[in-house]
Amino acid sequence: MSVRRRIQAALACVAMLAVAAVAIGTAPTSDDLVSPFYVSGASGEPVQTRTLTAEVQGARLAQTLDVSANESLAFSLDLLETEQTWVVVDARLEARIASVSLSNTRLRIAGVEYRAIDYLPAPTLVNFIGDPGIPFEGSFAFEVPTAVLESDGAAHAELVLRSILSSQLDDIAVVDIDLAGLEVRDVEIMRPAEIAESRE
Amino acid sequence: MWTLAVIASIVTVVAVLGGFSAIPEQKMPRISVGDTHTGGELTTVVERAWVSNQQPTNGEFAATGEQYLIVRARLENVTSAPSSFGSQIVRAEVDDVIAATVAPDVVLDDLRGTRLASLGAGVPTTVDFIWVIPADSVAAGDAVYLGIFDQFRVYGDPIFGDGAFTRPQLVAIVETVVDDVESVEQPHEVTL
């Protein structure tokens, strides 16, 4: 093989290695390949995913949660305190295909996720949403550092309605919520999940 | 002949480099009550351990012939996502009473008296780890060893991808003594 041919072969090898490096570097990860599809919407508007129709009706801030409406022999507290701030998000939810559990629902502020409290007795929006076509209304509650709610990120909070089941390659509803400037009340009432009146 | 010479040379080099030295014993880090231990997910400050016949905050009494060993710690999630590791982060060992492998019977959020749920990012939480033990088996002044555990993320798991964790591993020890129950603040009243 002539010197020229050898140089051409070496350059071809280098070029192929470079292409392989770019392909590996830009290839999606295994998590990317099965990541969910986020369906975004604004507060006050219905957001529809494959399994759920969700509408955020508003948000409230409080130092103490009144959970007396959630009656249970196994849960004796009426008031839930926090050293931080409770964020209560009121929502109307309707399953579309089968009943849905949203026990992994998160509030996302500036890239940090806060999980909805899930230890209140049923019925809550976290535990169970009824059969398709039957809308439920109620509240989610999140414990969030007070300083976070006073930051710029509070104006661009997101409610991420996630099931405890795997959401790979499935829809997830994400609703924008503006928490900036909301008054922090002493006590806010946590609404149990109840069947909502149907809309005409 | 040459082969033996090469092997002898390799062994000599390994010996000179310390390859046959005794492996130094790695001692588990020991921290004191009140010190902050920073793990991968949570910071932990063990505040105290005591015995009582009543759980803090919710006031639940122990059954006849039993009492509680209570370990109070302040935990804070330093990640950007909820952590469910809080209830596993502290274990206790007391001679002939509690083995280090025994999980607490109850883990309470001290502020509300409810069972500890997930810990929110940046939300410091006082947590009570509670073991049910025979009455009079532990008294004020007895030694108690507290283990602080951590878990580490596993990448590329065939099932869970990058979302898996190792089993909890001991990363630090707090050696202390059981407080006198009389020195512990009495449970405050809970609205029923």
- pLDDT attached to residue A82: 94
Give the position of tokens 């996502």.
B81
Structural domain contains residue B174: yes
- Residue segments in chain A with a per-residue pLDDT below the cut of 50: none
Determine the Cα–Cα distance for residues A93 and A90; give it in Å rounded to an integer. 10
- pLDDT attached to residue A193: 87
Structural domain contains residue B5: no
- pLDDT attached to residue A73: 57
Q: Return residues 65-124 of B near A (CB < 8 Å).
A: 80-82, 111-115, 117-118, 120-124
Q: CB-CB: which of A81, A82, A118 is closest to B117? A: A118
Contacts of B127 in chain A (CB under 8 A): none
Domain containing residue B36: CATH number: 2.60.40
Tell me the average pLDDT across B129-156.
92
Q: Pick the residue of A35, A81, A115, A166 with the most B CBs within 10 A to test the interface with B by mutation.
A: A115
Strands annotated E in chain B: 30-31, 36-38, 42-52, 66-77, 90-93, 106-109, 114-115, 125-134, 143-150, 153-154, 164-165, 169-177
Mean pLDDT of chain A: 90
Count of domains in chain B? 1
List, as one string, the DSSP characters of chain A.
Answer: --HHHHHHHHHHHHHHHHHHHHHHHHSPPHHHHTPPEEEEEETTS-EE-SSEEEEEEEEEEEEEEE-TTS--TT---SEEEEEEEEEEEEEEEEESSS-B--TT-EEEETTEEEEPP--SPSS-TTT-B-STT--EEEEEEEEE-HHHHTSGGGGGEEEEE--SS--TTSEEEEEEE--TT--EEEEEEPPPPEEPPPP-
B183: pLDDT confidence band, cut at 50, 70 and 90?
A: very low
Q: Is the pLDDT of residue B188 over 60?
A: no
- pLDDT attached to residue A147: 96
Mean pLDDT of chain B: 89
Tell me the average pLDDT across B13-18.
89
Tell me the average pLDDT across B184-189.
50
A77: contact with B, CB 8 A cutoff: yes
Q: Looking at domain A36-195, does it have CATH number 2.60.40.1240?
A: yes
- pLDDT attached to residue A165: 76
Number of Cβ pairs < 8 A linking chain A and chain B: 58
Asked if A143 lies within 8 A of B123 by C-beta distance, the reply is yes
Asked if B113 lies within 8 A of A112 by C-beta distance, the reply is no
Domain encompassing residue B52: 28-182
Asked if A77 lies within 8 A of B190 by C-beta distance, the reply is yes
Count the alpha carbons within 13 Å of B136 in the hemisphere toward its beta carbon. 2
- pLDDT attached to residue B192: 45
Contacts of B115 in chain A (CB under 8 A): 119
B143: pLDDT confidence band, cut at 50, 70 and 90?
A: very high
- pLDDT attached to residue B20: 85
Contacts of B107 in chain A (CB under 8 A): none
- pLDDT attached to residue A168: 81
In tens, the pLDDT along B84-135 reads: 999 999 999 998 899 988 999 999 999 988 899 899 999 999 999 999 999 9
- Residue ranges covered by each domain of chain A: 1-33, 36-195
Give the pTM.
0.82
In tens, the pLDDT along B31-55 reads: 999 999 999 999 999 999 999 989 9
Chain A, nearest residue to B117 by Cα: A119
Structural domain contains residue B23: no
Asked if A77 lies within 8 A of B118 by C-beta distance, the reply is no
Structural domain contains residue B74: yes
Structural domain contains residue B8: no
Tell me the average pLDDT across B4-21.
90
Tell me the average pLDDT across B48-67.
90
Asked if B190 lies within 8 A of A76 by C-beta distance, the reply is yes
Q: CB-CB: which of A30, A77, A145 is closest to B114? A: A77
- pLDDT attached to residue B121: 96
